[in-house]
């Protein structure tokens, strides 16, 4: 986007572009899509916001919808299973790398580390992931655990307050209910994805953790393997990772489910951008907003660690798969693109299919 709209077209200068990136990070929803909306609004007002958002996400949604249809119709073929089986370890590595990358930037103080540990323990104890993110943000806000305040608080022994073990965090989260099991109607799919989209900050990979909690553990609409497959498709196609929602909606409830999931997960982003635009300058300068986001990011790293481990149990079961995941992680750290790694995993799966058993 910087290359297209700052360097090539001159619609924005670098300072404005950086400001819009920061603003997009401070509101819930897919950051890349929200950045497109902000740029569209700067260029052509409110109509530009809507057009830019739709233009950015619709190509990816259309491609993913076609792949979802093929998956449902042809997913039982051994060739398809081999490809997806080869990609699964790569997906686990991608999620683990996302957590590692976010963690390097988000977990630099004792307060942040304490929130990370407390979040992991709370999730493993059964606390709803959405609640963990929100409570971590609130705790960070209350403690003044933003960038500068976190550094000062770290020397004051504040970590013990946050960790109070995870017991304190768990007590705050306890009253928040887990998903209520219901039939997978398009309306229920819409409501579920609307809830996820309304509380999801920052990296799209946190979406995986929330969807696993809601759809695999909570509602039972999806299996672990189907979730890994959905992430693989979202990762291997252009556009925001949130287009994974289209794939999952189709698998759960057909074409109407795909539409419901897509609208549900992206609608909060359009609303959040529209609301934030008049408050843009105040939002960027707000230490409180950044403190809240610091807490959410620390918890998000914990969620990604847990979900990577949980998906690894399902998708990384033999020495070849373990080696694939480790090599993929190392290559990601070295800067190799995810699309190349997904393609390599798919090729390895096909090769393994043609080898004799044992």
For the segment 32-42, what is each residue's pLDDT rounded down to a tens digit? 889 899 999 98
- Enter the tokens of residue 241: 């990772």
For the segment 273-285, what is each residue's pLDDT rounded down to a tens digit? 998 888 776 766 7
pTM recorded for the entire structure: 0.72
Which of 195, 201, 198, 143 has its CA nearest to residue 168? 143
Largest CA distance in the chain: 63
322 occurs within a structural domain: no
234 occurs within a structural domain: yes
99 occurs within a structural domain: no
336 occurs within a structural domain: no
| Gap between the Cα atoms of 97 and 304, Å rounded | 9
For the segment 231-290, what is each residue's pLDDT rounded down to a tens digit? 888 877 777 788 899 999 999 999 999 999 999 999 999 998 998 888 776 766 777 877
Judge whether 250 and 69 are in contact, CB under 8 Å. yes
299 occurs within a structural domain: yes
DSSP 258-288: HHHHHHHHHHHHHHHHHHHGGGHHHHHH-HH
320 occurs within a structural domain: no
76 occurs within a structural domain: yes
pLDDT at 181: 56
Intra-chain end-to-end CA distance of the chain, in Å: 48
Residues written for the chain? 358
Per DSSP, the three-state class of 310 is: helix
43 occurs within a structural domain: yes
Domain count, the chain: 1
For residue 142, the enclosing domain spans: 2-81+104-314
């Amino acid at each position: 986007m910087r290359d297209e709209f700052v360097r090539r077209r001159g619609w924005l200068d670098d300072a404005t572009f950086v400001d819009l990136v920061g603003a997009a990070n401070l509101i819930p929803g897919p950051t890349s899509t929200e950045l497109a909306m902000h740029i569209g609004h700067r260029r052509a007002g409110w109509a530009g916001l809507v057009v830019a958002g739709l233009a950015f996400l619709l190509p990816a949604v259309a491609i993913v919808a076609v792949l979802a249809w093929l998956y449902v119709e042809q997913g039982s073929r051994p060739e398809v299973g081999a490809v997806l089986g080869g990609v699964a370890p790569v997906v686990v590595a991608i999620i683990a790398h996302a957590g590692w990358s976010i963690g390097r930037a988000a977990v630099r103080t004792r307060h942040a580390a304490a929130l990370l540990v407390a979040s992991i323990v709370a999730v493993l104890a059964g606390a709803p992931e959405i609640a963990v993110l929100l409570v971590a943000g609130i705790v960070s806000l209350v403690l003044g655990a933003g960038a500068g305040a976190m550094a000062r608080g770290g020397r004051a022994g504040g970590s013990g307050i946050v960790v109070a073990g995870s017991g304190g965090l768990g007590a705050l989260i306890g009253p928040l209910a887990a998903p209520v099991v219901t039939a997978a109607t398009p309306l229920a799919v819409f409501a579920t994805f609307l809830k996820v989209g309304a509380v999801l900050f920052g990296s799209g990979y946190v979406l995986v953790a929330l969807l696993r909690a809601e759809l695999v553990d909570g509602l039972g609409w999806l299996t672990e393997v189907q979730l890994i497959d959905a992430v693989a498709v979202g990762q291997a196609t252009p556009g925001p990772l949130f287009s994974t929602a289209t794939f999952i909606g189709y698998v759960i409830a057909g074409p109407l489910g795909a539409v419901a999931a897509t609208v549900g997960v992206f609608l909060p982003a359009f609303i959040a951008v529209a609301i934030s635009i008049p408050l843009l300058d105040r939002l960027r300068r707000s230490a409180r907003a950044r403190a809240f986001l610091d807490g959410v990011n620390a918890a998000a790293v914990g969620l990604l660690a847990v979900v990577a481990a949980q998906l690894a149990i399902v998708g990384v079961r033999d020495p070849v798969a373990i080696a694939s995941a480790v090599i993929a992680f190392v290559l990601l750290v070295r800067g190799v693109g995810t699309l190349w790694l997904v393609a390599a995993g798919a090729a390895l799966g096909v090769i393994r299919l043609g080898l004799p058993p044992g």
